[in-house]
Chain A
């Protein structure tokens, strides 16, 4: 199930959305998430759905790939829906033994499900269209505007990019350690969950020791290359807002405006309340 989660993966297609400045995408996604919690009727969800469809089409990412991202989280969605369906008090429309389904419950459950799905799809479009490195750069810039976090913006993004750098290295190492332990007769395939978890210890301990050694050596190498935190540091690649980013901002405000307008629609859609 873990490999189904598409959030955090990068899917390059070379579309306009891929080329956008990461900051634009982060801001757009933030605005989108905030709006997702502001809309209060199905018209709003319909409009959000429209935004998603348009963005997906422009991004050229296969719809199936995005839907696979939802599949990974289907359990959480089902749990939320079930809880909301049965636990909301109000006008009973159907009874299932000791459980009552209310009209209000039906409405909140639908809203919650849609909200979760739209949240996952929206954020995964951002990560699918932005390389992790760009995302880190964009986040560093955005963090500068958040009080308290601001002071650590550079350090946090440096940590993230080093983590990204070392994921493949450590994966390779895990593979090597696993093979080495297998050659010594370790068994990772059979047994129940507990014994399998126990069998992971001979992998984890050498992996941790080596990770710490790597961290120590990397820190020395960084110091030798004059690393001294974020002050007075310049960047080779600077983020620049292009025209396409300006257009995106206009579209973003149009989306916000449009979604606010939907909250004022008094005509009910499907649900009579």
Chain B
């Protein structure tokens, strides 16, 4: 790789987000003192228990909500700057959890066209972008189908194509696999990894499933609105105890290695995949 200078795609500076309370409820701090940045082309996994502030964070990155305190900078633009709202949303696309509730149109290709249509892209170019986006997620064959005839994984891939057609530089995935069956999950994960690897797309992947982010460049762990850990998958997952304390799992193999070490076996504590485990055991 060349000496490419790292360009900051997203910068989160000392962000606090408070859900305002009303007469009956108290206001809740969803996030406080959150600081991190994401470089161009990076694959970052964000994990955390329910209510840790993951979804709030993802909505902040896409300028759907705005920080109570601090700044979110996307590609050099501050989300507080309402003039750039649409540029930010176009730069940082977002794929949501429920595949049914993010498809707008009655036909797959029309849905993919929805984003570029909103951006005012000329008709012919929309056509090209739609074809390209559908090819990237390998859904060309379904261009004329109706969304409700597709499987969950296919719907989610259409949703990804819908974002790709807007030509973003970064895609935020907010638990895109949470509602899918194992095969749908695999399809979607392969698509996401392919985007990061082949198209050099910056990916922020928020998830419950640890196995999905063992190949990430970096992992950020959230708990109760704060970043509690940050680092490479190996360095994060070896803290089995700490992760379990905040209600998170570790990848199966990491857990097995952990148990084996507890039983007195001499084995590395940073094993993530089955292959690594086989390697370590056969040595």
A residues lining the B interface (CB < 8 Å): 132-133, 161-162, 164-165, 168-169, 172, 213-214, 217-218, 220-228, 232-238
Contact = CB atoms under 8 A, between A and B. Distances in A.
Given A217-B98, A226-B90, A233-B117, 17 more contacts: A133-B105, A133-B107, A168-B146, A169-B100, A220-B96, A221-B94, A221-B101, A224-B93, A224-B94, A225-B163, A226-B86, A226-B119, A228-B86, A236-B110, A236-B113, A236-B117, A236-B123
B74 interface: no
B37 interface: no
B278 interface: no
B105 A224 contact: no
B191 interface: no
Contacts of B110: 133, 236-237
Contact of B117 (A213, A224, A234): A234
A114 to B, nearest CB: 36
Interface in B99-141: 100-107, 109-110, 113-123, 126-127, 130
Contacts of A165: 103-106, 147
Interface in B130-180: 130, 146-148, 162-163, 166
Contacts of A233: 117-118, 120
Contact of A217 (B102, B106, B122, B166): B102
Interface residues of B, number: 40
A220 to B, nearest CB: 6
Contacts of A169: 100, 148
A236 B127 contact: yes
Contacts of B162: 225
Contacts of A226: 86, 89-90, 115, 118-119, 166
Contacts of B127: 236
Contact of B64 (A218, A224, A234): A224
Interface in B49-84: 59, 62, 64
Contacts of A223: 64, 89
B122 A161 contact: no
A234 B126 contact: yes
9 contacts: A214-B100, A221-B94, A223-B64, A224-B64, A224-B93, A225-B118, A226-B115, A234-B117, A236-B117
B123 A214 contact: no
A217 B55 CA distance: 13
Contacts, number: 97
Q: Which 5 A-B pairs have the closest CB atoms?
A: A221-B102, A236-B113, A217-B101, A236-B126, A168-B148
B175 to A, nearest CB: 12
Given A225-B163, A234-B126, A164 B106 contact: yes
A172 B101 contact: no
Contacts of A228: 86, 118
A271 to B, nearest CB: 48
A227 B120 CA distance: 10
A132 B118 contact: no
A161 B146 CA distance: 13
Contacts of A225: 89, 93, 104, 114-115, 118, 162-163, 166
Contact of B118 (A164, A217, A227): A227
Contact of A235 (B64, B86, B123): B123
A133 to B, nearest CB: 5
